Amino acid sequence: MSSVDAGRQIVRWHLYSDAEALYQRAACAIERIAWEATSERGVFRIVLAGGNTPRLLYSRLREIDALWSAWHVYFGDERCLPRDHPDRNSTMAAAAWLSHVPIPERQVYGIASEQGATAAAQAYASMLDGIAAFDLVLLGLGEDGHTASLFPGAEWGVQSGAAALVVERAPKPPSQRVTLSAWRLSQARQVMVLVTGEAKRRALAAWRAGVNLPIGAIRPATGVDVLLEPHAWEIVPAQS
């Protein structure tokens, strides 16, 4: 593990032997963080990442030891597609994990993006009022350095204010989405970023080199933990 302060973003890099080891370590860490939160505050609030990278992790979370009744599950972003569409992040998370564990349905807070991005963003921001900090935010890293649905060249919501943003022209389909802002994602006790695959190498190298990317705008006070496997790490210069 190495640590570097990239401007105001503190990042800790954790390299694992392969993706299998990465997912196993992530699942164990989430289990521990959840128990710490429920022991200290009686509730565990987690924000889920979408896309393909976390799917295998979510499958592993079916097997952890957890007080599921204390879990509250949120989403970092959602695609504006019909309810239960297979490409929605909420559908993927339900199939891989949430439908297999007894988290109360009322404690899984999906983004109603089928109602349109503007209405869904406003409703989600309102729902988040009064929640000071998430216990854990899970994020991925796109090939262009995006995270959640915060894309290069678009508004990231870095300054405090808007909790959720409307995305009208995402470079990946579907073009219309809803995403939590960089500011709201940064309101977390812990942030974990999962990075796998050769396709992420350039984005990872750019992030470490200080290029202004959306992933670099996530700046919780406690820093960011990045879990990587060698295919993503290979061409990134080692830190002293």
* CATH code at position 142: 3.40.50.1360
Domain-located, residue 13: yes
Give the closest residue to 28 by CA, choosing from 142, 146, 192: 192
Instruction: Give the model's pLDDT for residue 3.
Output: 35
Instruction: Give the model's pLDDT for residue 52.
Output: 87
* 184 residue type, one letter: R
Domain-located, residue 35: yes
Q: Which residues of the chain have pLDDT under 70?
A: 1-7, 234-240
Instruction: Give the model's pLDDT for residue 4.
Output: 39
Instruction: Give the model's pLDDT for residue 159.
Output: 84
Query: Distance between CA atoms of 161 and 158, rounded to whole angstroms?
Result: 9
Domain-located, residue 18: yes
Query: Distance between CA atoms of 237 and 240, rounded to whole angstroms?
Result: 9
Range of the domain at 119: 2-219
Instruction: Give the model's pLDDT for residue 8.
Output: 78
Query: Which H/E stretch holds residue 197?
Result: none
Domain-located, residue 227: no
Instruction: Give the model's pLDDT for residue 176.
Output: 97
Instruction: Give the model's pLDDT for residue 234.
Output: 64
Domain-located, residue 145: yes
Instruction: Give the model's pLDDT for residue 161.
Output: 80
Cis previous bond, 220, omega within 30: no
Domain count, the chain: 1
Domain-located, residue 232: no
Instruction: Give the model's pLDDT for residue 36.
Output: 98
Domain-located, residue 230: no
Domain-located, residue 224: no
